[in-house]
């Protein structure tokens, strides 16, 4: 079984080429692959499969912000089957989509340029140059009332704004938090919030800074704290712009622990630009694979799905 390791601002992935949909990617296998001590190590798995070979590509999630236009799925040859480190599937991953696009070009599956990719949140375009940063469509945002929710994390309680980027986010502005306190905030445990506000769980972002440039940390459901979250950066940018009385037409640089991405909020949707780096490639040993596939029970990470 071949794999490639990639990362976008420190959000890292095991990329598994499976064009014809022959691989059974079980939650146990995903958890084994993502284990940083006993496996390859990653925040998630990107399975690369042709849409024609993947039934899940035609099964939209209820959380999609808008319906797909007629024929949209047919325009996408490839389906990004994204799985969290706990083995659960997720609607969308912005950093993962950039890395996915970079892999398609690097592997010779697609030429550089605009590449439509099917995801569980809908079809998204990836603009992949021959080298350099990748820009991806993230779809239109859906933002709830500002500070209408409450999140407790690291022993502190923050007001939170609900934002959907095809997956749910709770954006917490920590206006009274110094940078040293933001860095010291304990994100080793899952955040607490009202289940009725986020029935499917939520990714939680703690944010400080002005809307022209914001800094964030993130706890991703199904993973834990990560160095970056693409959909989270988009949610933060949209919430920060709305909070400042701005709307579409805004560009917001977002600093994450793993680097910087740029969020462009256009009239119809949000776009995310940032690095997408392929790090290594190799083969999984057959004896390791056999042992991973034989596992039928393994504790999942707390938190749900990204």
Active-site positions read: 93, 229
Q: CA-CA distance, 84 to 222, in Å (whole number)?
A: 6
């Amino acid at each position: 079984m071949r794999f490639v390791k990639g990362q976008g601002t420190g959000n890292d992935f095991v990329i598994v080429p499976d064009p014809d949909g022959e691989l059974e990617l079980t939650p146990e296998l995903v958890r084994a692959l993502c284990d940083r001590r006993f496996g390859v190590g990653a925040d998630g798995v990107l399975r690369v499969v042709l849409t024609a070979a993947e039934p899940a590509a035609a099964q939209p999630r209820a959380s999609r912000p808008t319906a797909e236009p007629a024929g949209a799925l047919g325009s996408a040859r490839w389906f990004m089957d994204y799985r969290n480190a706990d083995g659960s599937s997720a609607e969308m991953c912005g950093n993962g989509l950039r890395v996915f696009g970079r892999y398609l070009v690097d592997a010779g599956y697609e030429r550089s340029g605009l590449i439509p990719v099917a995801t569980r949140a809908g079809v998204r375009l990836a603009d992949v140059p021959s080298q350099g940063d990748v820009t991806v469509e993230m779809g239109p945002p859906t933002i709830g009332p500002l500070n209408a929710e409450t999140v407790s994390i690291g022993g502190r309680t923050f007001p939170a704004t609900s934002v959907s980027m095809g997956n749910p986010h709770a954006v917490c502005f920590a206006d009274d938090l110094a940078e040293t306190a933001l860095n010291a905030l304990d994100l080793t445990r899952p955040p607490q919030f009202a289940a009725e506000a986020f029935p499917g769980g939520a990714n939680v972002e703690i944010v400080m800074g002005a809307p022209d440039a914001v800094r964030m940390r993130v706890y991703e459901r199904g993973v834990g704290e990560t160095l970056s979250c693409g959909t989270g950066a988009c949610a933060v940018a949209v919430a920060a712009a709305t909070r400042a009385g701005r709307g579409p037409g805004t560009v917001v640089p977002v600093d994450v622990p793993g680097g910087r991405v740029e969020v462009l909020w256009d009239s119809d949707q949000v776009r995310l630009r940032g690095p997408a780096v392929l790090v290594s490639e190799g083969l999984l040993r057959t004896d390791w694979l056999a042992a991973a596939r034989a596992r039928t029970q393994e504790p999942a990470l707390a938190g749900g799905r990204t």
